[in-house]
Amino acid sequence: MNALREAIQSYLSLRRSLGFKLSEAGVELMRFADFMERQGASHITTHLALLWAQEKTSVEPMNWAKRLSHVRCFARYYSAYDPQTEIPPPHLLPYRPARTRPYIYTEEEIEQLLTHALMLNPRHGLRPWTYHCLFGLLTVSGMRLGEAVRLQDDDVDLCAGLLTVRGSKFGKSRLVPIDASTQETLAHYRRRRDQLLAGRRATYFFITCRGHCLDFGEIHRTFYKLSRQIGLRGPEDRRGPRIHDLRHNSESRIIPSIHSIWVEMAGNPAVMDAFESA
């Protein structure tokens, strides 16, 4: 079985070097190696792969199909080293997950979301501006949530109007241009953030009131709270428009008006008084 584990590590290293993260696949394939040891099996067979994939009877069929697909991909690789390896056919455990239909936010919904973000507690702290700027940036840039959260402070060049997104999908990096109104809003946030840090250097662009990187769980909880406040979700609804859907608006007709919302908010005396006095 050591040979199988070594082959799994080599397979994962090869594919990760090509840009695939394979976090889930790495865990599951090691569990498959444990299963093969318990079975005392010398070679991967379709029968054993099916047994392992369906080992957990309490999970949904989608997870069975995913587990089998991990073994199938590895088996293709491993068959070059062990000719007796059986590659499970693709028609086994067929399951076609229902794709979530993208939600295109209206101009009014975006404005309400950004406005209510500024009302988060503590009103005169950093948190309202963090979520206002984070959700606004997702809307106008098309960035993924993880890309925005992982932005380093050095990755945000507000003079050139460029954001550097590193280690994105398939391990690639890219430049994201932002317009003048977005630069102005992010510059306000940076000044406020730096006041909070009192001379300490920020590692991440978006931070908590304690200077730490944002927590994904807290981001989603805050988004659900705001979306319920503006009527995008019912009080008990667990499903509804997602944060990820914000990025779809960057390709829609409303991008100029979203920029104007940011400019209007930045020029609102009441908002700016709260900004400057905190």
Structure confidence at residue 256 (pLDDT): 41
Prior bond of 122 cis (ω within 30°): yes
List the chain pLDDT tens, one digit each, 278 residues: 588 999 999 999 999 998 888 999 999 999 999 999 999 999 999 999 999 999 988 878 888 999 999 999 999 999 999 999 999 998 888 776 667 788 888 889 999 999 999 999 998 899 999 999 999 999 999 899 999 999 999 999 999 999 999 877 666 788 999 988 899 999 999 999 999 998 888 999 999 998 999 999 999 999 999 999 999 888 776 678 899 988 876 654 333 445 555 555 555 555 545 444 44
The CATH superfamily of 107-277 is Intergrase catalytic core (1.10.443.10)
C-beta of residue 86 within 8 angstroms of C-beta of residue 44: yes
Whether the full predicted model's pTM is greater than 0.75, yes or no, is no
Structure confidence at residue 248 (pLDDT): 77
CA dist 265 and 278 (Å) reads 17
Return the closest-CA partner of residue 221 out of 129, 120, 133, 136: 120
